[in-house]
Amino acid sequence: MLSIINNLSRASLLKHSHKILLRSLSSPPDDDTSASSQPSCDVVQGPNLLRTSAARPSPSLMLLPGLRSLPFWTSPDNTRIAYGDPMVNHVVEHLQKNADLIRTEYLERQNEESNKLPPTNDYHDHQKSLHEGKWEWFSYLNKGNVQGDFAFQFPKTAKVLQELRKDHLLFEGTPFGFCFFSNLHGNSSIQAHTSPMNLRLRIHLPLIVPSGQEEDDCAIRVGNMVRPWVQDKAMVLDDSYNHEVWNRTSQERVLLLVDIWHPDISLEEKKEIVGMFQQARQDGLWKR
């Protein structure tokens, strides 16, 4: 197993996948290198991890220890935020108050047949192999990079998301940051998987939810918990837990997916982590 750590007392890399990337991110110092010249965030060998039958975070690549963790950070009725966290609560309130504006813009764009936006194919390649049926997405943030075409197609939604960027809340600057309209068509599903790391929280803002169905006909499982989406009620989850999604109805389920930094990661740590991945980009290991 691998781990990320340096002056940060937390951080571990878990799987042997992506070894080349991780080894390249790591620049093991020579014995005569002074501590002052060490990078602030690098990769070194780390401990093995103990797993039990309990549902716990199990990212496939990178784990930053010490972060608070729950499968869902919103209560079952979507009225309370775990730990009363002010950062997460701020983002949820910001998105929910703009839900109608975002949905209206999305529907208007989709109803313009002559200019209908074709679905992009820019989400993780492995995610494409995980889904069955029809799943479409339109990206604002792809692999940590803001997509200029989204702002042209959805200027009002882009403005809402820009507010999160100004506050350094949007999970950009790493290859694991995404934000997009997600349209899971009827009789479609996304198989069980975990995210590559636990540096983010993922927010679902449901814009269109199948109606007249049983709750479990269109839902998400995170860990051992299953929840349906409620229109305009943001759902916050930790996708480093094993999770899966399904829509067993004949209707579409549309939501705005937004990745934000985990609230326990400080601004200084964000800079160090982003700096590490920016170096990987310069070395040609992370491509846009």
Q: What is the model's pLDDT at position 155? A: 97
The answer, yes or no, to whether residue 16 has pLDDT greater than 80, is: no
In this predicted model, what pLDDT tens digit does every residue of 184-210 receive, in sequence order? Answer: 999 999 999 999 999 999 999 999 999
When comparing pLDDT for 286 and 53, which is higher? 53
Nearest CA-CA partner of 57 in 191, 199, 253, 165:
199
Whether the CA torsion 271, 169, 17, 224 is positive or negative: it is positive
With CA atoms as reference, report the closest residue to 240 among 67, 57, 102.
57
Distance CA 192, CA 127 (A): 10
pLDDT of residue 17: 33
Q: Which of 10-14, 74-78, 256-260 has the lowest mean pLDDT?
A: 10-14
Residue 114 has pLDDT above 60, yes or no: no
CA distance 193 to 262: 19
Helix (H) or strand (E) holding 230: none
Residue 125 pLDDT > 70: no
Question: Average pLDDT, stretch 82-87?
Answer: 97
Question: What integer best gives the mean pLDDT of the chain?
Answer: 84
| Burial zone of 22 (CB within 10 Å; 0-12 exposed, 13-18 middle, 19+ buried) | buried
If you compute the radius of gyration of the chain from its CA atoms, what whole number of angstroms results?
19
Lowest mean pLDDT among 19-23, 84-88, 182-186, 213-217: 19-23
pTM: 0.84
So what's the pLDDT on residue 166? 92
The stretch 210-236 carries a mean pLDDT of 94
Task: Name every residue whose Cβ is closer than 8 Å to that of residue 9 and which is 6 or more positions away in sequence.
Answer: 66
| Both tokens assigned to 98 | 């703009």
Instruction: Kindly list the structural domains of the chain, giving each domain's residue range(s) and its CATH number in brackets, ordered by start.
Output: 2-67 (no CATH), 82-261 (2.60.120.330)
Q: Could you tell me the pLDDT band of residue 118, with boundaries at 50, 70 and 90?
A: low
Residue 103 has pLDDT above 70, yes or no: yes
55-64, 85-94, 119-128, 271-280, range with the lowest pLDDT: 119-128
Q: What is the pLDDT of residues 18-29, one digit of tens each?
A: 444 454 455 444
* pLDDT tens digits, one per residue of 129-147: 777 999 999 999 999 999 9
Residue 120 banded pLDDT, cuts 50, 70, 90? low
Q: Please tell me the predicted confidence (pLDDT) of residue 6.
A: 34
